[in-house]
Amino acid sequence: MQEAPRNIKLSKQTIDFLRNFAQINKSIVIKPGKFIDTISVNKNIIASTDIKEYIPEQMAIYDLPLFLGAVSLFKTPMLFFPDDKKVVVYDEDTKGKTTYYYSDPDIIPTVPDFNPDLPDKEIHFDLPQSDVQQLMQAARVYGVEDLCIYGYEGEYSVCVKDKKNDTSNVFSLPLRKITFEDPGNVTPERRNFCYCFKVENLKLIDGSYHVCISKKNIANFSSLSFSSLDYFIALEPW
């Protein structure tokens, strides 16, 4: 079996994924292969994606923002894996280089084995990139903390608000289409619902998403812009 290359070029897309993951957890363990994932300290957010590069060694990075800062020093960052204790970041043109030493992987939270196919699915819908951007902008403008999905008598919407404040400023958008799991058994009670997330937990990379919400108080935001990018985010109690 041919040994994996010890030198790889780090793509902009992978760097962007890692920057996004650093917002979820500033530490990460990247296992050998073409896949990265992370979990928040509170274990209420999981993110995962395939990447273009094959990583030949486990990388236990305690300070991911610092590592990405080191990568940003180079116009065309390359990674060299001399051994299992460190990685060398360098640029072939300028000959500049820096060495980053790994931490103890046991001190970094890692994603447990789980089935990404959500149990007890209830509803599915798409969120276009423009809607996501508007909702996040409105949450910043109003300083509100919650994003809620509403269904009432066949009308469906997504809004940002403060669910603890009855007089909160609200920004809402209609959901064009909701698909129910087990559509042959959609009772009036099932059509009336409210699912809420903390806005601060929606650390999504820019793009459009297919959203699936489970009765088990978890949702999958599956990217429609990047084929394998997924977020699993816990719902908040209503």
Q: How confident is the model at residue 117 (pLDDT cuts 50, 70, 90)?
A: confident
Q: How many domains does the chain have?
A: 2
Higher pLDDT, 37 or 154: 37
- Written as six digits, the tokens of 173 are 């958008």
Residues 30 and 76 in one domain: yes
Q: Does 116 reside within a domain?
A: no
Residue 175 token pair: 């959901």
Q: What is the pLDDT of residues 172-181, one digit of tens each?
A: 999 989 999 9
Angle formed by the axes of helices 64-71 and 12-24, nearest 10°: 160
* In a domain? residue 97: yes
The reply to whether 145 and 53 lie within a common domain is no
pLDDT (tens digit, 9 = 90+) per residue, 153-176? 889 999 999 999 999 999 999 998
Would residue 58 count as lying in a domain?
yes
The per-residue pLDDT for range 73-114, each reduced to its tens digit, is 999 999 999 999 999 999 988 899 999 999 999 999 999 988
Q: Which of 219, 235, 236 is nearest to 47 (CA)?
A: 219
Does one domain contain both 132 and 101?
A: no
Question: Residue 1 — very low, low, confident or very high, per pLDDT cuts 50/70/90?
Answer: very low
User: Looking at 72, 107, 142, which one is the last position of a domain?
Assistant: 107
Are 221 and 125 part of one and the same domain?
yes
Is 153 among the domain residues?
yes
Give me the domain span that covers residue 101. Answer: 7-107
Structural domain includes residue 30 = yes
